[in-house]
Chains A and B, each alone.
Chain A
């Protein structure tokens, strides 16, 4: 079975450009999570969707960040405009809803903003 698929795997762009990260969750999972991993802050939750609806976006750092889930099989995380401090590894994860249901992670997008 296919796992969580993220694209691109690596993205290098200049400050001020728009960046779009993509995620395809595991088929049948109804919860989707976006995380950011940095050396300073570790793995932090940005936003959580349940049945395609954003439930908690309190981790989204600024208005420059936005996330959408137009259907059950696709989500995007957009940064506009991007800044060097946005450089990090961004992970998408999906799961069934329910206490204790493990989240399954994609391999991440390594983002470098120059």
Chain B
């Protein structure tokens, strides 16, 4: 049973517009959430994270929002750039040893 789900396998956005990637989780014990970006033939790269005690974390063009009651988080990219085209994974941790459970990923395509 998937504990972290990314229901949209792909998303296409025009350059300059906002990209919104969504993630849902089922395990209420998760208390830290991370987003990773992955280019082809490379490993995932850490992008941004959020603790369950917060509902928003911002880093430049990237903002992560957390809605604990809905068990939902989202990643906003504004403005989107062609170089943002990649697969984005959300991940969750509820363990001090920082084991992560990953979602299935969303492929973002930013069109020039």
Measured between beta carbons, the chain A residues less than 8 angstroms from B104 are: 42
Bound-state Cα–Cα, A31 to B34, Å:
17
A55 touches B97 (CB 8 A): yes
- Decide if the interface of chain A is mainly helix, strand, loop or mixed: strand
Residues 11-47 (chain A) with a chain B CB within 8 angstroms: 31, 33, 42-45
Mask of B39-82 contacts with A, CB within 8 angstroms, 1/0: 00111111001010000000000000000000000000000000
| A107 contacts chain B at the CB level, 8 A cutoff | yes
Bound-state Cα–Cα, A63 to B95, Å:
26
A95 touches B98 (CB 8 A): yes
Contact of A99 among B31, B101, B102, B103 (CB under 8 A): B31
> Which residues in A have some Cβ–Cβ distance to B below 8 Å?
4, 31, 33, 42-45, 48, 50, 55-56, 91, 93, 95, 97-108
Contact of A45 among B41, B45, B100 (CB under 8 A): B100
Query: How many residues of B are counted as interface, with CB atoms below 8 angstroms from the partner's CB atoms?
Result: 25
B32 touches A105 (CB 8 A): no
A100 touches B97 (CB 8 A): no
Q: Are A31 and B105 also in contact (CB < 8 A) when A100-B51, A108-B43 are?
A: no
Measured between beta carbons, the chain B residues less than 8 angstroms from A44 are: 102
Bound-state Cα–Cα, A104 to B99, Å:
12
Q: List 21 A-B contacts (CB under 8 A).
A: A31-B98, A42-B103, A42-B105, A43-B102, A43-B105, A55-B97, A56-B99, A95-B98, A97-B97, A98-B96, A99-B32, A99-B96, A99-B98, A100-B34, A101-B98, A102-B34, A102-B46, A105-B45, A107-B42, A108-B41, A108-B43
